[in-house]
Amino acid sequence: MNAIRRELEDAVLTHEAIEVHLSYLRPAVEALSQKLDDANKDRAAADAALAEKIDQANRDRAAGDALLADKIDRSTERAEQTSKRLIEQISKLQGSVDGIKWFITSVALILSGFAIAHELGWI
């Protein structure tokens, strides 16, 4: 029985031995805790930097959208001005064509009148 107890006693650590092992583990756990804290701080800083970059990209996109909208508005205005100018020119041309039609019709009627008068011997 003493042999069994001795085997068991060898496997059991004393409080002093446990304290020695804990004294070695405590600095490692504290160092690991410090590293985790530093990693969390670094992650928080990286998150803040990323959020700032995203905000800057959104501001740049909004500025680009505003610039594009301004260009579209100016192009639309120019197209409208060109359209109005072309409509005016087409209206003038239609007026001229109508005038030419009346003139040709009038000349044709006058010439027909002269032809009829000539046929009747009035001229």
Task: Give the mean model confidence (pLDDT) for residues 52-71.
Answer: 93
Please tell me the total count of domains within the chain.
1
Distance CA 11, CA 8 (A): 5
Label residue 90 exposed, middle or buried (CB < 10 Å: 0-12, 13-18, 19+).
exposed
Model confidence, pTM: 0.47
pLDDT tier for residue 23 given thresholds of 50, 70 and 90: confident
Range of 36's domain? 2-119
